[in-house]
Structure 1
Amino acid sequence: MSEIVKLVSPVDGSVYVERPVASVGDIANAVAAGKAAQAEWAGVSIAERGKYVLAALEALLAMNEEIVPELARQMGRPVRYGGEMGGVEERTRYMVELAESALKDVVPAPKPGFTRYVKRVPVGLVMVIAPWNYPFLTAVNTIMPALMAGNAVLLKHAAQTLLVGERFQQAFDAAGLPKGLFQNIVLSHAQTEALLGSGDIDHINFTGSVAGGRAIETAAAGTFATLGLELGGKDPALVRADADLDQTIASLVDGAFFNSGQCCCGIERIYVHDSVYDRFVEGFVDMTNQYVLGNPLEEETTLGPMAQTRFAEWVREQTAEAVRKGAKPLIDTSKFAMDKPGSPYLAPQVLVNVDHQMSVMREESFGPVVGIMKVHGDEDAIPLMNDSPYGLTASIWTRDEGVAAAIGDQIETGTVFMNRCDYVDPGLVWTGVKDTGRGGALSSIGYENLTRPKSYHLRTEI
């Protein structure tokens, strides 16, 4: 009997979806079909590829009314936020428009008697292993440019968001994409590792935990497949004395608690100049208390459950450890009736009197808790911002662009923000340092990671 993957909804603990994993034959057929389709697709013009990709985008957009409640049931995000299609559309259109210039030949200075150029050719078969927290956005970062670059794609989506993979398949089928070029496949962990180690996959993109990234590297060892790994973060914010406090508070509260804090680039720790600390904390707490924790299918809910109870329990443990070590919680969680131990429903929490001996200030929380720490100036904040194993994004809140850039030069991170946070710009590479991972998605650099250079050195005079 085939193994069954079950999706347990965080809304009520019921089994919302279940699917059988692929058989050995299914996997072999998927690989063969992908390779055959890719060989032909590589000869299709970039403009023609773009027509298929944009048609698939339109098909996805047309499904959004059904997708939004599906997402709420699968991973808990409130329906009031409308899903992810705005970002999906922005990134897809940008990468389609960029493809011609990003994939054009690289031509060195002329050399008499020779024609020389470097082509960017597709790597072949790309496997996307996508997470549940932003299940469309994280997947689209690789799927659309991979197809635009001439590759075939296998998508293995997280068990928590099984229906997302099926929605992508429906969209590409509706667009008439050549059969086998994009395939959604349901795999167990063991099957995934075996496929990665088979040598059949040319590029692997994985978004998930550090432990998961290490497992991916181990599984693919010796195959020489290229890797794109985005493994989480502990993203800091620095609020300087000259910050616009109203705008800063509103943005950082949203950056900390949107999606119940389950954002790779969400704000997890904040360093505030002592001259504005009290006003900042007061405003931050006031705004946090306005959240409504509840059923994500109800329009008034602004904070849904975490995707799984075990994720909420980790945040509860982290918060309790910080309190034992002297942190002070500023949110009365008893006002959030659905927050109960052993439940995925978790109230937002703001901690002060924190330090870097506490896990909540150094290790990823991936939930609705944030620590706020007073600093005396930039020179105090910079070492603290770097004191984490992760480095995805960092935000600096100031009116001085030059200072923000100078501080950014000293921060160990993939992206430096000024006066914004928790956003992915498709014109910039999405990348990280330290345990956040390697590689990069989006922008022209994303295309470089989905192709291989091939040099042509043609002697024309003999």
Structure 2
Amino acid sequence: MSTITTINPYTQEELKTYNLISDADLKQKLNLADKQFQIWKTTEIKDRSSLMSRVAELLIERKESYANLMTDEMGKPITQGIAEIEKCAWVCDFYAKNAEDFLADQLIETDAEESFISYDPLGVILAIMPWNYPFWQVMRFAAPTLMAGNTALLKHASSTTQCALEIEKLFEDAGFPEGCFQTLLVSHDQIETIIGNDIVKAVSLTGSEGAGRKIAEIAGKNLKKVVLELGGNNACIVLKDADLDEHIDTMAWARMQNAGQSCIAAKRFIVVEDIYDEFLTKFKAKVESYVVGNPMEDKTEVATMASVSLAEEVEQQVKKSLDKGAKVVYGNKREDALYHPTILENVTAEMPVFKEEVFGPVAAIIKVKDEDEAYETASNSRFGLGSMVFTKNTDKAKKRIGEIADGAFFINELVKSDPRLPFGGTKASGYGRELSKEGIMEFVNVKTVYSSK
């Protein structure tokens, strides 16, 4: 039987080995999810809400232990892990309080005696989730999906297997019926079998562009709905009137949080030449100030990446960019899985650090002549997840929202997810939306009901 072995990326210590489930066990779990769906879909929303509120309570009660687990499995600094769990509790509370309003029948005036839109759950939904935010990525899928009346299956990243099992236990401990939420320890080959099974009605994937293309192909072949939240190389536009003293901390953290392992991190800093030198001086000073090291220490701000191979991949992207003329301003040092915060300038459009997603703590700085060139450069991307603009003239920035075809446009703030707002991208960053009312609507049947005398 195939196995998974998890490794602490900071210490390189082997943590635990797990057996993947057999095809027979997988079939049983699929049948259980389907059987439970027939019951769960008829459960009153107020009862679902009560259980989801209990999940939020347990998350807060267990936040230190869950944060420690994330630190062990993927190297997240302990304080950032605690913040992640607190955000998970927020999304559970949000849907517990708002799902009933979101899912209420919508009356429509027509020639009928009565006509309305009903929002019915689809059935069993498969989630394929990444390691970089091992609780948050799952909970922002699970909360709206379960509240809509669906049941959920999770295929998590193998490196965060214990996180995946703890999430399943979390729902069980909160009182969710058996089969509502199940973690599947399966191989990549088994994923295609799962998606092809008639029991599974839709798929949600957060991951790389390559993984998204593969899952979209399988789902399309089986006529299954799919939501894809893929990579990004978000632009951070710094205009000449930006208040650097006010926002430089935000700009730097937009790149370096979670060791740069975030799809919505600021990866390309597009800076107007009038303010370029001042920006680079202050940005470098802020990055130099970060405490780098042991993720278990509260003072640590930037820690190890999730594996040696991931750090090596970032190292190669930087090397290829340097070969094309980029210049190191700061950093460019790797120790096993620890890749130190790095700043590059003289970055041009043909370099990997401009055109690819660099999933690590590397800031690519691009100097442009003026505001028009800044927006044009920001739009020069295959990706479309989010952009941020720093300027004192917010009214003018709002008039240029349509010039960048991303899923998010943040002014004087880093791009971030919020349960109250839709989250997702365009182009190679995927399609569909998570969070807010739009997120809960992704996995429901929008049904027309028409009644005449």
- Whether these two folds match at TM > 0.5 is yes
Q: Distance in 2 between matches of 1:269 and 1:101?
A: 39
Taking the aligned partners of 2:267 and 2:113, their CA distance within structure 1 comes to 55
Q: More displaced, 258-267 or 316-325?
A: 316-325
Report the 3-state secondary structure (helix = DSSP H, G, I; strand = E; otherwise coil) of the residue aligned with 1:150: coil
Q: Give the partner amino acid of 1:367.
A: G
Equivalent residue in structure 2 for 1:422, among 415, 431, 441: 415
* Superposed counterparts of 1:38-57, under 5 Å: 38-57=37-56
Give me the whole-angstrom Cα distance separating, in 2, the residues matched to 1:366 and 1:97: 35
Residue 440 of structure 1, aligned match among 426, 433, 448: 433
- Give the C-alpha shift of residue 423 in structure 1: 1.2
Partner of 1:19: 18
What amino acid sits opposite 2:31 in the alignment? A
Tell me which amino acid in the other structure corresponds to 1:104. A
How far did residue 436 of structure 1 move? 0.5
- Are the equivalent residues in 2 in contact too, given 1:242–1:399 (CA < 8 A)? yes
* Counterpart contact for 1:9–1:15, Cα < 8 Å: yes
Among candidates 376, 382, 391, match of residue 398 of structure 1: 391
Aligned match of 1:103: 103
Q: Is the 8 A contact 1:199 1:225 kept in 2?
A: no
Distance in 2 separating the partners of 1:119 and 1:300:
50
Equivalent residue letter for 2:109: A
Cross-structure match for 2:262: 263
CA distance in 1, matches of 2:30, 2:332: 50
Kindly provide the CA deviation profile for residues 280-321 of structure 1, in whole angstroms up to 9, marking residues without a partner as x. 100000111112322212233221111111111111111112
Comparing 36-45 and 318-327, the one that deviates more: 318-327
Mapped partners of 1:38, 1:305: distance in 2? 41
Determine the structure 2 residue equivalent to 1:93. 93
* Alignment size in residue pairs: 452
Q: Is the 8 A contact 1:241 1:398 kept in 2?
A: yes
Deviations 1:365-414 (CA, angstroms, capped at 9, x unpaired)? 01010111112222101221111111101001112222222222100200
Shift of 1:61: 2.0
Maintained 8 Å contact 1:95/1:442: no
Q: Which residue number corresponds to residue 352 of structure 1?
A: 345
**Distance in 1 between residues matched to 2:331 and 2:452, nearest whole Å:** 76
Range with bigger deviation, 305-314 or 215-224: 215-224
Kindly state the Cα deviation for residue 332 of structure 1 after the two structures are TM-superposed. Answer: 4.5
Aligned to 2:223: 224
* Counterpart secondary structure, 2:69: helix
Question: Which residue of 2 is the match for residue 150 of structure 1?
Answer: 149
Give the AA of the match of 1:130: M
Cα deviation digits, residues 48-77 of structure 1 (max 9, x gap): 110011112212221112111211111111
Determine the C-alpha separation between the residues in 2 that align with 1:200 and 1:173: 22
TM-score by length of 2: 0.97
Structure 1: how far apart are the matches of 2:288 and 2:153? 43
Q: What is the one-letter code of the residue matched to 1:223? A: N
Moved over 3 A (4+): none
**Corresponding residue number in structure 2 for 1:244:** 243
The yes-or-no answer on 1:385 pairing with 2:397 is: no
CA shift for structure 1 position 254: 0.6
1:422 is aligned with what amino acid? V
1:67-82 aligned at under 5 Å gives the runs: 67-82=66-81
Relative to 1, partners in 2 of residues 1:453 and 1:80: Cα closer, same or farther, differing over 3 Å? closer
Distance in 1 (CA, whole Å) between partners of 2:214 and 2:380 is: 25
Gap regions ≥5 residues in structure 1: none
In structure 2, the CA distance between the partners of 1:152 and 1:332, relative to structure 1 (3 Å rule), is closer
Q: Which residue of 2 aligns with 1:365?
A: 358
Give yes or no for contact 1:122–1:151 (8 Å, CA) kept in 2: yes
Do 2:219 and 2:225's aligned partners in 1 also have CA atoms closer than 8 Å? no
- More divergent stretch after superposition (55-64 vs 27-36): 55-64
**Aligned to 2:401, which of 399, 402, 408?**
408
Name the SS of the counterpart of 1:92 in structure 2. helix
- Counterpart-to-counterpart distance in 1, 2:299 and 2:405: 39
Query: Given that residues 219 and 226 in structure 2 are in contact (C-alpha distance below 8 angstroms), is that contact kept between their aligned partners in structure 1?
Result: no
Distance 1:276 1:319 in 2: 25
1: CA distance, partners of 2:400 / 2:345: 24
CA contact (8 A) 1:429 1:443 kept: yes
Quick one: structure 1 residues 333 and 206, their matched pair in 2 at CA, closer, same or farther if it must change by over 3 Å?
Answer: closer
The residue type equivalent to 2:442 in the other structure is N
Aligned partner of 1:87: which letter?
K
Verify the 8 A CA contact 2:124 2:152 in the aligned structure 1. yes
Structure 2 residue matching 1:422: 3-state secondary structure: coil
Range that drifts further, 224-233 or 74-83: 74-83
Identical counterparts, % of pairs: 29
Q: CA deviation at 1:89?
A: 1.8
| Matched residue, 1:61 | 60
- Secondary structure at the residue paired with 1:382? helix
Give 1:46 deviation, angstroms: 1.2
User: Are residue 131 (structure 1) and residue 130 (structure 2) matched?
Assistant: yes
Aligned partners of 1:125, 1:31: CA distance in 2, in Å? Answer: 8
- Is there any run of 5+ residues in structure 2 with no aligned partner, and where? none
Equivalent residue, structure 2, for 1:176: 175
The residue that corresponds to 1:162 in the other structure is 161
Is the CA contact (8 Å cut-off) linking 2:295 and 2:303 kept in structure 1?
A: yes
8 A contact 2:71–2:81 mirrored in 1: no
> Following TM superposition, by how much is the alpha carbon of 1:82 offset from its aligned partner in structure 2, in angstroms?
4.0
Q: Deviations over 1:222-245 (max 9, x none)?
A: 322110101110000111112111
Do the aligned partners of 1:122 and 1:149 also contact (CA within 8 Å) in 2? yes
